Structure 1
Amino acid sequence: MSVDGWNTVLVLGGIRSGKSEFAESLVADAPTVRYVATAADAPADDAEWAARLAAHRARRPETWTTEETATDPRRLADVIASAGPNETLLVDDIGGWVTVLLDPAHQPADDTATIAELAAAVRACAARLVLVSPEVGLSLVPTTPLGRAFTDALGAANRAVADACDAVVLVVAGQAAWLKPGAAQPGVVPAQAGPAPVTATAGPATATAGPATATPGPATATPATGRTGTPAAATGPAGTPATTTASGSTGTPGVAAGGPAGTAWAAPTMALPMVATGLVIQPGMELPMPDEYAGPQAIERLATLDVPGAGLGALERVVGFAAATQGTATPAPWGSVRVLLLHGDHLGDAAAGAVDGESARRARQARAGRGVLARLAAESGADVHVVETPVSAPMEDEPALAGEQVEAALRDGWRLAEEAADAGAHLLVLGACSAGTEAAAAAVLAATAGAETPAVLGRVVTGSGEIDDAAWMRRCAAVRDALHRTRRSPRGAKDVLAELGGGDVAVATGILLGATARRLPVMLDGPVGVAAAMVSRDLAGQARHWCLLADHRGDPAVRLAADVLGLTPLLDVRLDLGEGANALAALPLLRSVLALAAALPARPSLGGGDDDEDGEPEPEPGPDEPDFREPEPAGPGPTSTEPPTGAETRTEPVDPSGRRAG
């Protein structure tokens, strides 16, 4: 149980809930385990109970040792208290221990004092300790005195032990829900107690958070809000993605996003318990959806604006998207924008035709504030963060990533989105500069959408601008062989990432999930982003609704994925400046559209302002100027409902018969 931050955990669950199997999985990586069995042996006439005990014994590895405490319930506290710091104990379970404690053979006894002794031993335990206990408090109150005594004693024991443990997890139908997280949970990097040390100067700066080091380059972009930049710190231990920023201005370093003790989890999200407590990111997560009313209201409002022509055309969609993600019918232009540029090459023929070292050169350019991406970021006031992702193995020969690398990459991507939200970003731009990303995206699309590889794999263009058909065929063959190798493998999200997607697609998927949890829109730009969006559908279907696609670039993979995801590209200019740079080139236009939609008044006929050419409102009519009056209606009938007055007053008598008198 390689867990930092806590040593003791209580696993609760109902009958046949899977609590024992879950507890055993927590200590599966320990070299030796002392299994403390608390239940008494089965009576000779109870074959079913004997079979249960035998099943538990059969699951224990040969390296585990078993210790019995059924003869003396007080001995359990002594075993726990005497365990050394290098030991791992698994106690299964407290329900059996309470049964023995209430046995008449051990009475009279002070049950309350014995439970308090057990809790004190757990609290002072130096070993790594996992305790299992049944949760029976959700059923009806037993009808027998003995049943009530058992549930009362077990409830008191569970409460006392849960209070003493660092973490508590409830297992229901095989699914774990962490009730009491510790300082850190399995798979989550512990948060720093405070900001990591940082050295910031006018030139290169160094930001340090834990073992990994991130080195921002010279300043290239100033956020549109005018605030100082925020260099991102490396998140996680060595081997996990490190983040660097192209903004060299003085600011506050990022803090590693870990458990609840860290500042990175300050803003609550619907999925916070899932990640913050260390449970694996799993399919079927319920994440937030954009506002379903704000988007249509914003589109309806556009029809009322004082615009000389027909309006914003296809760019009305960006107003609806911004309104839905911001939760208002008058969305504001995106101010703070963060670009996450992923770099992690794919080995093998997936990168056939790529120039050696070219992807690393592009990453260095972005870090140093040079190149197309950095220049566009400077123009747009965006921060560029280069994220080093795991290198992917040749997909045609073996899985691109190991299972544990996929889990870590998903969590790292989630943390990157959390850091961006905490830094005040209004929009994420997702790009990549890895070698072989086109083939990896094609493989993901083939696995998730049934696409034919030649139809979604773009042509290979050399550095001199020539088409390299031989390299394209090698890439197609690599994808074909990878799909053949995995033809009998599951097609779940994590399986696809491990077998085909690789490091950059896995981190990108985590970014989309984390951004969705924090209601942060993401602009996709290229094969990696759309491949991640395809995979994220199985983990949280809400993620695609927070994605925006500026341009399809003419890329067949992007075209197909956009069609499947229901993402209509806003533009069709076919920019090919590199992932991330295309989105930044379109960003000023999108901002202008949002600014117009927010600032323009309604048409005068709908009550909006009517300004003259000098920009001043038209003056009210003076007292000598004729005022417009409603014309009198023509034809028979009264012209007024008021009685006539003055010169219009009739003096002739009126004949009751209707004829004029005289």
Structure 2
Amino acid sequence: MSLDGWNTLLVLGGIRSGKSEFAESLVADAPTVRYLATAADAGDDPEWAARLAAHRARRPATWSTEETAADPRRLADVIATARPEETLLVDDLGGWVTVLLDPAHQPADDTATVDELAAAVRSCAARLVLVSPEVGLSLVPTTPLGRAFTDALGAVNRAVADACDTVVLVVAGQPCRLKPAVVHPASADATPAAAAPSTAATTVPAQAGPTDESPVTAGGPPLPGSPPVSTPQVPARPTSGADGTGWTAPTMALPVAATDLVIQPGMDLPMPDEYAGPQAVDRLAGLDLPGTGLGALEQVISFAAATQGTPTPAPWRSVRVLLVHGDHAGGVAAGSTAGESARRAEQARAGQGVLARLAAESGASLQVVDAPAAAPVEHGPALDAAQVDSALRYGWRLAEEAAEAGVQLLVLAACGAGTEATAAAVLAATAGAEPPAVLARVVTAGGQLDDGAWMTRCAAVRDALHRTRRSSRDAVDVLAELGGGDLAVATGILLGATARRLPVLLDGPVGVAAALISRDLAGQARHWCLLADDGGHPAVRLAADVLGLDPLTQLRLDLGEGANALTVLPLLRSALALAAALPARPEGDDSEEKGDEPGPVEEPEPDFHEPEPEGPGPTTTAPATEAAETSAARAG
């Protein structure tokens, strides 16, 4: 069960349903967890003491335990003051209600206390999991105290469930999601999720040039239509463009209806073939390859096999580069030359510059995508909700158009002022990173380090994170508060590519930051991504580690996001072509059967000799009892 994208989560379940174990599994990958134990002391009840001991035994040593039974109001205070990088586990609300109803804490304004708890959960900046018994399915208790407990716990569960962004019910060890509703946009005759009833789904056709059609947004200005796709030419000699022959990527019939697509956490998108990748690697072992084979490039073979659904993947012939251009205002862009990113984007449109030249060498088409500019994040949100929704749909549609045009691989590139600092802010918000540790140094056009601009960027990110410390860490909220238009479009591209089973080659901070956000919307998205190079960028290195992506190379090029990917693309194609064309190794050609290749020579083990003792001491190594018997025999 995929539960990516949550920030506050309520786990309900009956007695011995497995709710606590499930809740603990959700935070098992957190480096540290604050475990908030609400139950009162066991007293002289040995069975209750055994239950508490079993819970304690399951907790890892890195978790810290805090007791709240002495003061029920303290639970809300701890949740409200938790930091964004923390992870909290509350087990459970039944114990909290028991203490709240205890005569020792009366008279108490129980309603106000429950409201305080719900408000704390709603504003919690940390990742929070709460466990609570579900008593609404049981019989009505026959005692006044029992009825008071079930009524109070039912009210608490309703208030906390309304405050949480995800609710799961565990029945007989099986988790069932109650909130939000599970989205299944993977059928051929359905759209991802309908925001409103619709009589028909409209498929957005692939566009090869400008169009007047644009996504419909709720109250926000529409983004422009799909930009033209160009095929840059290498000067002075002809190039072989994408001819569309060879393997055609399998796609899903998943139309994007502009009024129906809802991009939200929990989207159920396809996964690559789990068997084709290992089968492709096993197949490599039987090929007629000298030496030890393809080394690190086996990762490429496995990835291509899984995304193509075959153990014999073919090279990517039709490749499209999507260059997302979007600037960020404010301190995150400190040290950037005004108008430089726009000049780079115009260069690419004209088939000039580094990216266009590399695309031409690879026979890849190039599409420059303009994204909405982002407002200064230190003062307010980068975008409003309507702009984020429009940008996500726009990126999804661009990926769909590429799939409809027969593109087999997308290369995600980006250019824009302030993108590196924005990626650092997103990484800090989603992965708990320290901004100065992941924010690369600022280099001027003359090659000098600009420490003043770097400190300004750090301060802007710090202020933005402080401003949003109580905001939800929901993916869409992160895009609105910190991300901006380029990240929103890039996230939509990754989600749309995942829906159409289209692999994406990443390279740079915008790509990996978008992958982090898309992971929280659909956990399958990261499995369709391949990282060309981390470029020595600290944010890319950390994001790759969080995503589980191993960079293929370490070229350390600094030619703009996307340049590393296009540089290694011919190498990746060569590896795929080689693996697809080589025959199997002839039978009887194994190294064990070759007489002319001597095997390893086993050296005899040296004999062990007991060293002679130095100075006075025992002259034998026999046990003491044996020595005593020998002396007695001599005396007799």
TM-score, structure 1 normalization? 0.55
Deviations 1:127-174 (A, max 9, x none): xxxxxxxxxxxxxxxxxxxxxxxxxxxxxxxxxxxxxxxxxxxxx988
Matched to 1:413, the amino acid is: G
Instruction: Check 1:180–1:435 CA distance in 2 against 1; reply closer, same or farther (3 A cut).
Output: closer
Q: 563, 567, 582: which is aligned to 2:549?
A: 567
Matched to 2:453, the amino acid is: A
Matches of 2:550 and 2:511, distance apart in 1: 15
Matches of 1:307 and 1:294, distance apart in 2: 20
Q: 277, 280, 286: which is aligned to 1:298?
A: 280
Q: 342, 347, 361: which is aligned to 2:324?
A: 342
Matches of 2:342 and 2:504, distance apart in 1: 24
SS in 1 for 2:479: helix
SS in 1 for 2:263: coil
1:543 aligns with 2:545: no
Matches of 2:204 and 2:559, distance apart in 1: 41
For residues 229-248 of structure 1, the aligned pairs below 5 Å read: 239-240=223-224, 242-247=226-231
Quote the residue 2:568 is aligned against.
Answer: 586
SS in 1 for 2:484: helix
For residues 118-157 of structure 1, the aligned pairs below 5 Å read: none
Quote the residue 1:312 is aligned against.
Answer: 294
Matches of 1:180 and 1:583, distance apart in 2: 34
Matched to 1:209, the amino acid is: T
Instruction: Check 1:490–1:185 CA distance in 2 against 1; reply closer, same or farther (3 A cut).
Output: closer
1:240 Cα offset (Å) = 3.8
Matches of 1:193 and 1:591, distance apart in 2: 31
- Structure scoring higher RCO (CA < 8 A, sep ≥ 6) equals 2
Quote the residue 2:211 is aligned against.
Answer: 209
Matches of 1:428 and 1:193, distance apart in 2: 19
Instruction: Check 1:346–1:195 CA distance in 2 against 1; reply closer, same or farther (3 A cut).
Output: closer
For residues 349-428 of structure 1, the aligned pairs below 5 Å read: 349-428=331-410
Matches of 2:322 and 2:190, distance apart in 1: 33
SS in 1 for 2:410: strand
SS in 2 for 1:243: coil
Instruction: Check 1:453–1:176 CA distance in 2 against 1; reply closer, same or farther (3 A cut).
Output: closer
1:308 Cα offset (Å) = 1.7
1:323 aligns with 2:325: no
1:244 Cα offset (Å) = 3.1
Matches of 2:190 and 2:268, distance apart in 1: 21
Matches of 1:438 and 1:180, distance apart in 2: 38
Matches of 1:193 and 1:406, distance apart in 2: 19
1:441 aligns with 2:428: no
- RMSD in angstroms over aligned alpha carbons? 3.1
Matched to 1:528, the amino acid is: V
Deviations 1:279-310 (A, max 9, x none): 42110111110011110011111111112221
Matches of 1:565 and 1:173, distance apart in 2: 25
SS in 2 for 1:286: coil
For residues 34-45 of structure 1, the aligned pairs below 5 Å read: none
Matched to 2:345, the amino acid is: A
Matches of 2:284 and 2:421, distance apart in 1: 41
Instruction: Check 1:550–1:187 CA distance in 2 against 1; reply closer, same or farther (3 A cut).
Output: farther
Instruction: Check 1:535–1:606 CA distance in 2 against 1; reply closer, same or farther (3 A cut).
Output: farther
Cα contact 1:241–1:389 (8 A) shared by 2: no
Matched to 1:523, the amino acid is: L
Instruction: Check 1:471–1:241 CA distance in 2 against 1; reply closer, same or farther (3 A cut).
Output: farther
Matches of 1:442 and 1:176, distance apart in 2: 31
1:190 Cα offset (Å) = 9.4
**Greater shift in the superposed pair: 311-320 or 236-245:** 236-245
Cα contact 2:231–2:363 (8 A) shared by 1: no
Deviations 1:422-479 (A, max 9, x none): 0000100001011110011000000000000011011111111111111111011110
1:495 aligns with 2:477: yes
Instruction: Check 1:605–1:567 CA distance in 2 against 1; reply closer, same or farther (3 A cut).
Output: same
1:315 Cα offset (Å) = 1.0
Structure 1 gaps of 5+ residues are: 1-171, 199-206, 213-235, 250-265, 609-662
Quote the residue 1:282 is aligned against.
Answer: 264
Matched to 1:389, the amino acid is: A
Matches of 2:293 and 2:460, distance apart in 1: 47
TM-score, structure 2 normalization? 0.57
Structure 2 gaps of 5+ residues are: 1-177, 215-219, 234-249, 591-636
Deviations 1:315-351 (A, max 9, x none): 1100000000001111000000000000010001111
Deviations 1:189-220 (A, max 9, x none): 99699898x9xxxxxxxx441178xxxxxxxx
Cα contact 1:315–1:570 (8 A) shared by 2: yes
Matches of 2:387 and 2:571, distance apart in 1: 39
Matches of 1:468 and 1:606, distance apart in 2: 63
Quote the residue 1:460 is aligned against.
Answer: 442
SS in 2 for 1:310: coil
SS in 1 for 2:228: strand
Matches of 2:197 and 2:564, distance apart in 1: 35
Rg: which structure is higher?
1
Matched to 2:273, the amino acid is: D
Q: 480, 483, 488: which is aligned to 1:506?
A: 488
Matches of 1:530 and 1:468, distance apart in 2: 25
Matches of 1:534 and 1:553, distance apart in 2: 18
Matched to 1:545, the amino acid is: H
Matched to 1:600, the amino acid is: L
Instruction: Check 1:387–1:551 CA distance in 2 against 1; reply closer, same or farther (3 A cut).
Output: same
SS in 2 for 1:285: coil
Matched to 1:357, the amino acid is: G
Cα contact 1:347–1:392 (8 A) shared by 2: yes
Cα contact 1:245–1:383 (8 A) shared by 2: yes
Cα contact 2:314–2:576 (8 A) shared by 1: yes
Matches of 1:349 and 1:194, distance apart in 2: 40
- Identity score, percent: 69
Matches of 2:298 and 2:556, distance apart in 1: 20
Cα contact 2:373–2:485 (8 A) shared by 1: yes
